[in-house]
């Protein structure tokens, strides 16, 4: 085998490669194209967009941790209409495979964001419906997360269908009901689930005794430290819902971690936090994943996707 598989299927859509950028880590538009040709990636998932402009949380919004990063960006963005006018044309111009992402504070907010995207649906490969932002409210108060509730998840997916593009439901691993919630998203019409968003986390400044984040509360933990959580989430959902396509995300810093998520059952993999330290990370990881596929004699990504559930890679050949 001298060349890697040519494309991969995620639900009803086809991507040229399994590696995409993760939402919130690759700008709103084509910013990363000056570091690598975005058209060469499997896709670009843009920062979550609302039907309205939203200021986000107070600085500091990021805090490094020993094995990753905490963030409380707070969904800052200029909204879908601004994105369609200013950012989408740049992504189209560089020939990126575009996945938009939407968020809201209510089911109606999602419907509004999805409705605004509908006129440009033909330019989008999919819409990722972000049900799992850890920073939807500021302060230390408990917050509501759509992805921690199977019914709310279904309601949001139903409401978002008006976008007219295949939907990927982005879920949270901060629940013991992930399989039930993924099934609910699937039944409501999600074409795939994206597993996982950041984990709920917090760090304190021991001089002030207060949160290190400007929001005054916790944030979302990403990076290397959450990778095994993502692998397990993907593995368990793939085992329970074998017909549901999964996009894996969480602590992917090399082709090794991307391959793990694919073996666990992900059809595609997103690269997030690694991009902050290394803007070309997604392309490097894509090359490493291809090299792995060639070494393993993988002619079609379907041979690798979920192989951990079928006795491992090349199970028949090893028998
Ligand atoms: O903007 C954020 O604070 C944010 C979002 Br929308 C998300 O989905 N995950 C995250 O860690 N931060």
179-198 pLDDT tens trace: 999 999 999 999 999 999 99
Ligand 1 proximity of 129 Cβ (cutoff 6 Å): no
Report the chain's mean pLDDT, rounded to a whole number.
Answer: 95
Per the DSSP assignment, residues forming a β-bridge with 200 are 220
Q: Are 166 and 121 in contact (CB under 8 A)?
A: no
CATH number for position 243:
3.20.20.70
User: Is residue 238 domain-resident?
Assistant: yes
d(CA 67, CA 295): 29
Which ligand 1 atom sits nearest the alpha carbon of residue 136? 3
Say if 127 falls within a structural domain. Answer: yes
Average pLDDT (282-293) is 98
Alpha carbon nearest to ligand 1 atom 4, residue: 133
For ligand 1, the distance from its centroid to the CA atom of residue 48, given in whole angstroms, is: 8
Residue 198 lies in a domain: yes
With respect to residue 214, please indicate whether it lies within any of the assigned structural domains.
yes
pLDDT for 118 equals 98
pLDDT tier at 2, thresholds 50, 70, 90:
confident
pTM above 0.85, yes or no: yes
Measured between alpha carbons, how far apart are the two ends of the chain, in Å?
21
Q: State pLDDT tens for residues 194-245.
A: 999 999 999 999 999 999 999 999 999 999 999 999 999 999 999 999 999 9
Count the domains in the chain.
1
Q: What is the DSSP string of 122-191?
A: GG-SEEEEE---TTSS-SSS----GGG-HHHHHHHHHHHGGG-S-EEEEE-SSSTTHHHHHHHHHHHT-S
What range defines the domain where residue 179 resides? 8-318
Give which of 254, 248, 198 is closest to 222, Cα–Cα: 198
Residue 279 inside a domain? The answer is: yes
At 138, is the pLDDT very low, low, confident or very high (cuts 50, 70, 90)? very low
Report the side by side order of strands in the sheet with 199-201: 62-65, 68-71, 219-222, 199-201
Query: Could you give the angle at the alpha carbon of 92 between the alpha carbons of 299 and 288, nearest 5°?
Result: 30
Atom 11 (ligand 1) nearest CA: 220
- Interval 79-90 mean pLDDT: 98
- Listed range (37-51, 77-91, 143-157, 184-198) with the worst mean pLDDT: 143-157
Residue 143 lies in a domain: yes
Residue 294 lies in a domain: yes
Q: Does residue 1 belong to any structural domain of this protein?
A: no
Neighbour count for residue 315 (Cβ, 10 Å): 10
Res. 66: pLDDT tops 80: yes
């Amino acid at each position: 085998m001298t060349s890697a598989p040519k494309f991969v299927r995620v639900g009803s859509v086809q991507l040229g490669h399994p590696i995409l950028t993760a939402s919130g880590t690759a700008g709103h538009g084509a910013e990363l194209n000056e570091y690598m040709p975005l058209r060469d990636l499997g896709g670009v998932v843009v920062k979550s967009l609302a039907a309205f402009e939203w200021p986000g949380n107070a600085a500091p919004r990021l805090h490094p941790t020993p094995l990753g990063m905490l963030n409380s960006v707070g969904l800052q963005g200029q909204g879908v209409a601004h994105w369609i006018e200013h950012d989408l044309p740049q992504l189209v111009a560089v020939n990126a495979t575009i996945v938009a992402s939407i968020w809201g504070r209510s089911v109606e907010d999602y419907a509004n964001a999805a409705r605004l995207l509908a006129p440009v649906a033909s330019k989008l490969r999919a819409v990722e419906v972000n049900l799992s932002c850890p920073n939807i409210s500021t302060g230390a108060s408990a917050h509501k997360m759509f992805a921690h509730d199977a019914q709310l998840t279904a309601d949001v997916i139903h409401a978002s269908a008006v976008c007219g593009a295949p939907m990927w439901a982005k879920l949270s691993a901060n629940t013991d009901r992930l399989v039930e919630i993924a099934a609910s998203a699937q039944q409501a019409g999600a074409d795939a689930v994206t597993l996982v968003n950041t984990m709920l986390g917090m760090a304190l400044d021991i001089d002030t005794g207060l949160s290190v984040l400007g929001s005054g509360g916790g944030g979302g933990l990403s990076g290397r430290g959450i990778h095994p959580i993502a692998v397990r989430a993907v593995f368990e959902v793939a085992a329970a819902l074998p017909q549901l396509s999964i996009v894996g995300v969480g602590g992917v810093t090399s082709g090794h971690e991307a391959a793990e998520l694919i073996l666990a059952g992900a059809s595609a993999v997103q690269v997030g936090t690694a991009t902050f330290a290394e803007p070309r990370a997604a392309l490097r990881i894509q090359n490493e994943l291809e090299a792995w596929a060639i070494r393993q004699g993988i002619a079609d990504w379907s041979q690798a996707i979920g192989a951990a559930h079928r006795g491992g890679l090349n199970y028949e050949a090893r028998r």
